[in-house]
Amino acid sequence: MKYVLTIAGSDSSGGAGIQADIKTITSLGAHALTAITALTAQNSLGVAAIKSVPARFISNQIETVVQDIFPNAVKIGMLFTGAAIRRVARDIKKYGLPWVVLDPVFRASTGKALLESTAVTCLREVLLPLTNVVTPNLEEAGILTGKRVRTLSDMKKACTVIKEMGPSVVITGGHLKGDCVDLLYTGEEFHSFYGERIKTDHTHGTGCVFSSALATFLAMDCGLERAVSEAHHFTRHAIAKGYPCGRGPGVVRPLMREKARR
């Protein structure tokens, strides 16, 4: 059995956050370990409230888990505060946590901020250097680089800037015009993963599913390029099998997995 630790916030609507991570990791045949960083009161229409978990208690969760069940990979999602970022970074170093995948969550798809504005620099300077792979979408890549990212050419430029901060980079291109392209940059070469656009409104949780799937495939010793390819296909399948959930955009379905892809 492989173990994947997800350090992320709770989505009370069950479509994204740590709930999506658990569904993804479990669907792929691994065991999900968790450290909850924040509680959100949200539904398909938006985030009504956020309650951050004290940084010390986030660290307590991580410490207690890894002392008994050491993970094969780690996925980090919503952290919300600078204190949480510093604590998680400290724990990565303290325990030598392997294959750290960071999904840099800055705001919800409905627009609510999920990271304090004062914590963005801390994320760049403290956490990114300790991360193996970072998985921003176009908007998040723009925030990390301070440059607008709208095209494949912009994505390549952003990848090179982010790589200088430490990790390998996968910029997910679901918001590109035309076909979708996920772009991996290792520091040596680019790898592009193309897919036809899937016409659906049910996309809530896409970024969480991709990053937790990537962490899981890395835990399974796939190697980075293959892990990104597998996560790309898995996420596309989850989007294609999405369903309505509430009055707003529906959710992806990571439990519906093509058995042939392993």
Residues 200-214 pLDDT 10s: 999 999 999 999 999
154 located within any domain: yes
pLDDT exceeds cutoff 60 at 88: yes
257 located within any domain: no
- 117 pLDDT band, cuts 50/70/90, is confident
CA 155 from centre of chain: 18
pLDDT exceeds cutoff 60 at 258: no
- Per the DSSP assignment, residues forming a β-bridge with 8 are 36
For the segment 243-254, the average pLDDT, to the nearest whole number, is: 93
CA atoms of 121 and 140, how far apart (whole Å): 13
- 107 pLDDT band, cuts 50/70/90, is confident
| Domain ranges, residue 107 | 3-240
pLDDT exceeds cutoff 90 at 111: no
CATH number, domain with residue 101: 3.40.1190.20
74 located within any domain: yes
Share of the chain above pLDDT 70, in %: 96
pLDDT exceeds cutoff 80 at 48: yes
72 residue type, one letter:
N
Half-sphere exposure of 89 (CA within 13 A, CB side): 16
245 located within any domain: no
82 located within any domain: yes
259 located within any domain: no
253 located within any domain: no
Range name among 174-183, 186-195, 232-241 with the lowest pLDDT average: 174-183
pLDDT exceeds cutoff 80 at 249: yes
Domain tally, the chain: 1
Whole-prediction pTM value? 0.94
260 located within any domain: no
CA atoms of 139 and 241, how far apart (whole Å): 25
